[in-house]
Amino acid sequence: MNDKVTKSAAEWRAQLNDLTYRVTREAATERPFSHPGFAEGPGAFTCTCCGAPLFTKDEKFESGCGWPSFTAPAEGAGIDEHRDTSHGMVRTEVTCARCDAHLGHVFPDGPPDRGGMRYCINGVALDFKPDEPEG
């Protein structure tokens, strides 16, 4: 699943709804507290554009910021970080390494006992895949 995914703007528009396109392909941000949340139980969060694994449920925490927050990417996750100076701020943008989807930003204000990082990710950029039941 490490193959780079490259599509035209028209192909992405055909695959994604308007908000998801604007967030993942144009680096927009969904409104805080607008994402309905994710199912309970163990599982993984994948890129909504290409299906690449990004985060696990174990790393998710409630930060109160209005977007899904994680303390770290999943082991081996393909996440790239870039300096972002848009909107008069200096931040670190997080993108999917496989398809270059904008996911959100990472900040050094997460739980100190879990590494201190907060990956603040747009909910529309993620799909939740529950773990398969054993047996």
- CATH, residue 69: 2.170.150.20
**Rg for the chain, CA atoms, rounded:** 14
Identify whether 96 is a catalytic site residue: no
Neighbours of 19 (CB within 10 A): 14
Give me the number of domains the chain comprises: 1
Whether 61 is in a domain gets the answer yes
Domain membership of residue 50 as a residue range: 9-30+42-130
Whether 86 is in a domain gets the answer yes
User: pLDDT tens for residues 56-107?
Assistant: 999 999 998 999 999 999 999 999 999 988 888 889 999 999 999 999 999 9
Q: Which pLDDT band holds residue 135 (cuts at 50, 70, 90)?
A: low
Whether 3 is in a domain gets the answer no
Long-range pairs for 22-28: beta carbons < 8 A, 24 or more residues apart:
23/102, 23/122, 23/124, 23/125, 24/48, 24/49, 24/101, 24/102, 24/103, 24/122, 24/124, 24/125, 25/101, 25/102, 26/102, 27/86, 27/93, 27/102, 28/102
| Catalytic, out of 47, 49, 50, 120 | 120
Whether 72 is in a domain gets the answer yes
Residue type, 74: A
CA distance 28 to 6: 19
Enter the pTM of the model. Answer: 0.92
Structure tokens at 78: 């393909």
Is it the case that residue 134 has pLDDT exceeding 60? yes
